[in-house]
Structures are given as structure tokens and as C-alpha cells.
Structure 1
């Protein structure tokens, strides 16, 4: 994390930025970081597609955003990232209406629930936080290529430090489930995904970054217990650090919109970002060989390959 005492806000980052003519997609955009990211991009002139888990939540989010930004060009679509069928239905519908996509913020996620499974049987955090977004980006890659230069921003977390990706058993089928370790695995997968995505598509105008938003006041931690906080604090102490201060959503979402728009990042694709700056990530999250292996495994698990042309 940077040493700045007053973190930047989304409006600070986008002051003077004109996104007119650009189309952005933000997943998990009904509350928290996703809603603020969508609001900020819409306020800067982008046409924003917000995703929600139900049509009712999407309509409510659009109405609330238009209250904040009356001139906003915004719509909502329904996608459940824990269902590959839902991801396919959403991307098929969207691809039938838009030819170009310029910004994709893979923001949606879940944090430290009890052991659960997605519709396809993947461990819930790995399946939702990583595989759902992996398939979504894959199926929207033609639109991202058509809209190049375009950007993909993948929300990770400092929690990626807790665990690498177990390529032999990512879905906890043969090892005991530990929710913090599983969360760390999914967030490491986010960092590795952005790294490999940029490596594969940067020369065709699609760049990617992973983002740590900081500890933010949202409902993402609704599954946390006092013991979970104690474990987090203990891990931080063991690493010689302490838990960071809580950010408001306007501060936490600032790095996402910076990643989506900052021209100074053009030659730093694949980087891990925090506090609107390039930041160090764990060694297990930055190994290009592991990133390539995770990519191949992910294509196998979702049953689809990224487009090559």
C-alpha cells in the first residue's frame, strides 16, 4: 500500500477524463465498489452495462445511478457468475447488441463463505471469483478486440497473500476446506489471470490489470466472524504488518477506474495495482509459468478456449 494519508477518490481520478463513445461493463455493479465504479464511469461519459444477479436488483441499481447522474447512459443485465450457463446466456445476448467493448471491470465476487459449490460443482469462491469471470471475458473477447485499445480490470485483493492456486485440487475435492485459504486462492487466480491475459492479448490492443482496492466498507465481508478478523490480524502480524485502515467505497473504487483509464499504465500491462499505483504481489501470484498452467486448466474446466483470431 502507498503511504499517502488521503487516498484518492473515483472523482479525483476521473477529473477531466472524457469517456464519451466508450462502452464499459462492470460486474457486480448493484452495490459497493461495483456500483461506485459504474457511477464514476457513467459520470465521465461512458455507456455502462451493469450486471446484477436478478433483473429486479439491476433495475434498482440503474434507477439509483440515474438519481446520482441524471445524464447517465446505463443499462443492466442479469448474470450469475456461479453458473456458466448464466454467463453464456448473458454474453450471447450482449454480443448480439454491441460490436465493441472498451472497458471490462471484473468486480463481482464473494468472500469467505462456508464450503459451497457452483452450479457446475466448482468450489464457490474459485468458481465465482475466477472461473465465472474467465468465461465471461473469453466470450466477450471479440468485442474487446473490436474495441481495441481496450482494458480488462480484474478485482483481486491483498488476501491473495494467503494462498497460491492448487492446480491439482482447486475445488477442494481432496483436501480440507479452509475458507480464508480458498479466498486467497481465488484472489491469486485473479492476479494470474490478468497477467496471462495481458501477455496473450497486449499486442492486439487488449491490456489487463489486477487491483487490490484495500479494506473497504462494503457488505462483502458479511460472512466474517470475530475469529476470521483475529486470523487476518494474526497473519498480518506474522508478516510484520498490520491490518490497513478501512476505506470508503469512493476511495476503494478509485484504483479500478484508474486502471481502466490511466494513460501512464499503457506500458505496464499485467501489473498488480493498489492505491492508484503499481504494487508488489506475492511471488506465487506473479509466476508466468503458473499463470499459463492456470489458463489451460481454466479453459478445461469451463469447456471453452479463448478465441485465437
Structure 2
């Protein structure tokens, strides 16, 4: 293990930000009104970054910004509205950002396990929040990221990507049965592949993207998950105990996304980070859900996904 991540497997966000430094960086953290996103934003602000919270609920975002200022002594983060269920909202956010440079874009906002719903743009909601909206936002902000290069984008992913196989022919579950947790895993698999293809396309501009899993963290991301769901998925035992040990705190969960954003070892992009290290390729006897599937890093699959997905978002949200 290199010195960059020695003893960081159970690190907290502030440790990672302090180790690699974020002073003077300009950062956007999407989904920073609760959970892991708050911890990411707090650690960056505490390390000297200028942070903008991109949130759906601006009132909650302003409360978080004030709490971050109180906790760190840094300036309160800016708060900007974005609704990832609407690509018009994504476009409006990027337009308001204007021509300001951007060092770090953390696509942290997530949606897990709701009933099948279709957004105003025609996308299945988990794909919209976890993949399509971050794809569009990241592309719209490429000029800003290039202005601050070398710069990075992070897709906050999940070990649930193990539960899915890529289906380019039906990204929105229009013609196949919808399983809410397989759909979550599929969206996160797509997020992993986006990191691969985005890095290929933009590395020449000094911009790369990585995916990172926070690990198991108890946040309101699980608001659609019932106790019976969690038992069936093997996330908890029937007596309520955890089969794989204690869950991480939000500050511990934020450490790996920050490592993906700041660590020199992840500077080439297109990697999947777990426990503050580049994850190995999954193989038995490692339990599914740990390490990263080979499919997640397949450049051919990543290129195919881009070709299927980009035409769907390129003109979406322009007339709403």
C-alpha cells in the first residue's frame, strides 16, 4: 500500500482533504443537503476550497452551508438550485455558473429504490438522477473544468453495480420488467462506465472522471428501502444485525469520493475507488458488492453506453 492511502480504509473525509490538500480549489458538490454530500462539502470547505452546494432543497442547503461555516470557520458555501429529475434544471444551473473555472465536480446526488417513475424528459427516475443528469451536467461544465485543468469529476457510485448487466437496448426499462434494486445497480454500473468514457474523451483537456463507492452508509438515500427489502438483499439480518460489520458514518463514507477527487494515484481517471484505493477487479471468493466488476471498466461497453445515452440528453430539457 502506498503512502497515499496507508491506513485510510476507515478514514474520514477531513483526513483525506488534509492529506492531499484542497486550498484554493473551486468545487461543486451535488446533493449536498444531507448525508455523504454534506461531509464531502464540509471537508473541502475546511481544507480551503470554495464550495457550492448544488441542491434540490435550497432551504436545507442554506442550513447546511451555515453549519459548515460554524464547524470549519470557513466562508459559508454558496447554495444553488438543481433538480436532477429535470434536465432543464441541469441546464439552468450550468448557465448560471457561467464562465467561472471549476476544479472539482462531485456528482454525489443519488436516488435508490423508488417505484418506477418517468421524468419529464422521459427517463426512468433512477437513471435520470444517477446517470443521465450527471452526464449532461459534466459535459456542460467541460469548458469550466478545462479552464482550471488539471481538474476532476467524481461519480459517487455503489457496490450495487454488481447486481446488473448493461442493457443498452433498454436504458429506461420501457420493454423489460422493472426491479427497483436491479435498476439502481444498473444506473450505478452506467455511472462507472461514464467515468471510463468521459476520461477518454476529455483527458486531453486535462479533465478526468473517477467513480467511487462510499460503502454502506446509513443516510436518507435508503428512504425507499423497507426492512423486508434490506433483509432480502442481505444488507441486514432478520434480527436487525449487520452481516458485514458496522456501517460507515457519513464522514467515513465521504472519504473515498474525496480520495477519487484529490489523490495523485487517481489522476489518470477512469478508475473505481473503494476504501480510499483503486479497487481491484472482482473475482471469487470476494463476496459480490466488493471490488469492481470487469464490465464496469470495459472501454468498449463505456463507448457503447456513451453512443446510446448522449443522443438522449444532448437536446433534452431545451424547451421546458
Tell me what 1:283 maps to: 294
CA distance 1:101–1:172, change in 2 (3 Å): same
More displaced 10-residue stretch of structure 1: 279-288 or 37-46: 279-288
Tell me what 2:93 maps to: 90
Deviation of 1:16 after TM superposition, in Å, equals 4.8
Pick from 39, 44, 59: which aligns with 1:41? 44
Tell me what 2:213 maps to: 212
Matches within 5 A, 1:137-156: 137-156=138-157
Let me know the Cα RMSD of the aligned residues. 2.2
The answer on 1:229 being equivalent to 2:230 is: yes
CA–CA distance in structure 1, aligned partners of residues 305 and 116 of structure 2: 22
CA–CA distance in structure 1, aligned partners of residues 43 and 67 of structure 2: 13
CA–CA distance in structure 1, aligned partners of residues 172 and 266 of structure 2: 34
User: So what's the TM-score if we normalise by structure 2?
Assistant: 0.87
Contact 2:46–2:73 under 8 Å retained in 1: no
CA–CA distance in structure 2, aligned partners of residues 123 and 103 of structure 1: 27
Tell me what 2:201 maps to: 200
CA deviations over 1:211-261 (Å, ceiling 9, x no partner): 01100021111111123212321899xxxxx64631001110001111111
Tell me what 1:272 maps to: 272
Matches within 5 A, 1:99-248: 100-233=101-234, 243=244, 245-248=246-249
CA deviations over 1:34-77 (Å, ceiling 9, x no partner): 01000000000000011110332222221121121222352010
CA distance 1:46–1:110, change in 2 (3 Å): same
Contact 2:33–2:57 under 8 Å retained in 1: no
User: So what's the TM-score if we normalise by structure 1?
Assistant: 0.90
Deviation of 1:6 after TM superposition, in Å, equals 6.5
CA–CA distance in structure 2, aligned partners of residues 286 and 260 of structure 1: 18
Deviation of 1:4 after TM superposition, in Å, equals 6.8
Tell me what 1:70 maps to: 73
SS at 2:22 equivalent = coil
CA–CA distance in structure 1, aligned partners of residues 300 and 107 of structure 2: 23
Contact 1:118–1:128 under 8 Å retained in 2: no
Tell me what 2:313 maps to: 302
More displaced 10-residue stretch of structure 1: 182-191 or 163-172: 163-172
CA–CA distance in structure 1, aligned partners of residues 246 and 85 of structure 2: 31
CA–CA distance in structure 2, aligned partners of residues 234 and 137 of structure 1: 32
CA–CA distance in structure 1, aligned partners of residues 187 and 277 of structure 2: 22
Contact 1:17–1:44 under 8 Å retained in 2: no
CA distance 1:301–1:243, change in 2 (3 Å): farther
Contact 1:102–1:147 under 8 Å retained in 2: yes
SS at 2:233 equivalent = helix
CA deviations over 1:94-137 (Å, ceiling 9, x no partner): 125x1x10011100011111111112121110111100110100
CA deviations over 1:259-294 (Å, ceiling 9, x no partner): 111122224x21111000111311222221111111
CA distance 1:139–1:234, change in 2 (3 Å): closer
Matches within 5 A, 1:7-18: 7-18=10-21
